[in-house]
């Protein structure tokens, strides 16, 4: 039987790359996303739910549907996250703090909370939580995001201990800066503001890694596929950076 994989924030970005990578392996894929238009672009064969990962009732209803349609769940990619505000801590409102913690942390908690009973009953399963290099280092100007991503790792460590005896593995991936529209939206304005070229700003940030480059979504997706596979059957409780090897977490272009 092909594996049943749920990916939150799976309609675009890293989650979409994960969904495509799992589908390419013959898995059955279900994507959860708040963006209905992005969900429409997903292949017809995928399960789809329009949900906000912070909405417990909607999440509970989605897991109810998954149980009814699939009878269980083999892999959870709790991937939803938002960047939150970029500002000095004294300018971060409590509202913005809470919104960032909610999507990154409450969202992972709720996904794990509802996936755990199904996986425990099966005596098998894999959860993969998306943290960030912000969850390994500080991130100046991004206090809520870094705090949330560190907390995701604490959640993962605890779930791995709690669920390991039931045959369920739990790991976290920490992507570095990912090539794509989100980073272009940082690079180009910063280049304009500093009178630099986009490539100069890119090289400045990429110099924070020993490999001198950003990662691609497919690199992160490949790690999710590996962590979900039998090749990783004794890998649990681990934090895996897919970041080109961060050597300076705060490079200044
Ligand atoms: P993205 O901004 O491209 O968004 C991907 C999807 O998330 C979108 O389809 C969006 O609708 C969905 N989404 C946002 N809020 C949601 C919510 N409340 N409920 C359900 N869906 C929601 O994101 P991304 O860059 O692909 O990031 C995915 C994960 O990877 C996040 O946890 C992010 O923090 C983490 N991450 C990203 C990068 C990066 O450079 N892109 C680096 C490190 C970690």
Query: 49-58 pLDDT, tens per residue?
Result: 999 999 999 9
pLDDT tens by residue, 164-211: 999 999 999 999 999 998 889 889 999 999 999 999 999 999 999 999
Mean pLDDT computed over every residue of the chain: 97
Provide DSSP, 68-136: HHHSS-SEEEE--------S-GGG--HHHHHHHHIIIIIHHHHHHHHHHHHHHHHT-EEEEEE--GGGT
For the four alpha carbons of 118, 228, 151 and 176, in that order, the dihedral sign comes to negative
Which residues lie closer than 8 Å to 120 by C-beta, 6 or more apart? 163, 166, 168
Q: How far is the CA of 98 from the centre of ligand 1 (A)?
A: 17
CA-closest residue to ligand 1 atom 11: 35
Give the mean pLDDT of 83-88.
Answer: 94
Report the distance separating Cα 86 and Cα 71, nearest Å: 42
Q: Please check whether residue 83 is in contact with residue 145, taking contact to mean a CB–CB distance below 8 angstroms.
A: yes
Whole-angstrom Cα distance, residue 148 to residue 76? Answer: 19
What is each CA distance from 91 to 81, 99, 141, 143, in whole angstroms?
21, 15, 10, 11
CB atoms within 10 A of CB 235: 15
* pLDDT confidence of residue 203: 96
> Distances in Å between the alpha carbon of 48 and those of 30, 38, 223?
6, 11, 23
- Structure confidence by residue, pLDDT tens digits, 35-82: 999 999 999 999 999 999 999 999 999 999 999 999 999 999 999 999
Domains and CATH numbers, the chain: 4-176+215-242 (3.40.50.720)
d(CA 124, CA 82): 30
Residue 253 pLDDT grade (very low, low, confident, very high; cuts 50, 70, 90): confident
Ligand 1 binding site (Cβ under 6 Å of any ligand atom): 8-9, 11-15, 33-35, 38, 52-54, 79-82, 103, 130, 132, 175, 177-178, 182-183
Identify whether 114 is a catalytic site residue. no
| Nearest CA residue ID for atom 41, ligand 1 | 178
Q: What ligand 1 atom has the least distance to the C-alpha of 214?
A: 40
Which of the four pLDDT bands, split at 50, 70 and 90, describes residue 155?
Answer: very high
Instruction: Report how far residue 2's alpha carbon sits from residue 4's, in angstroms, rounded to the nearest whole number.
Output: 7
Helices (H), 195-244: 198-206, 217-228
pTM above 0.95, yes or no: yes
User: Over pLDDT 90: what percentage of the chain?
Assistant: 96
Cβ of 101: how many Cβ atoms within 10 Å?
Answer: 18
Q: Which of 114, 139, 145, 205 is catalytic?
A: 145
Residue 252 has pLDDT above 90, yes or no: no
Q: State the residue for tokens 């110099």.
A: 207
- The ligand 1 atom at the shortest distance from the C-alpha of residue 104 is 32
Contact yes or no for 173/223 (Cβ under 8 A): yes
């Amino acid at each position: 039987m092909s594996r049943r994989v749920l990916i939150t924030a799976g309609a675009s970005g890293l989650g979409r790359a994960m969904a495509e990578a799992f589908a390419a392996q013959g898995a059955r894929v279900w994507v959860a996303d708040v963006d209905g238009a992005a969900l429409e672009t997903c292949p017809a064969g995928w399960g789809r739910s329009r949900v906000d990962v912070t909405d417990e009732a909607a999440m509970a209803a989605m897991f109810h549907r998954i149980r009814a349609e699939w009878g269980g769940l083999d892999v959870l990619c709790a991937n939803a996250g938002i960047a939150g505000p970029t500002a000095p801590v004294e300018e971060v409102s409590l509202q913005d703090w809470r919104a960032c913690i909610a999507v990154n942390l409450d969202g992972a908690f709720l996904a794990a909370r509802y996936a755990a009973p199904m996986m425990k009953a099966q005596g098998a399963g894999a959860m993969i939580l998306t943290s960030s290099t912000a969850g390994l280092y500080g991130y100046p100007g991004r206090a809520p995001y870094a705090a949330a991503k560190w907390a995701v790792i604490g959640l993962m460590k605890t779930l791995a201990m709690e669920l390991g005896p039931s045959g369920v593995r739990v790991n976290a991936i920490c992507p570095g800066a990912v090539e794509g529209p989100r980073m272009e939206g940082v690079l180009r304005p910063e280049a304009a503001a500093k009178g630099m070229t986009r490539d100069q700003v890119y090289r400045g940030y990429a110099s924070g890694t020993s490999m001198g480059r950003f990662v691609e979504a497919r690199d992160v997706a490949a790690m999710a596929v590996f962590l979900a596979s039998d090749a990783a059957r004794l890998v649990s409780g681990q934090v895996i950076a897919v970041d080109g090897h961060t050597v300076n977490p705060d490079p200044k272009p």
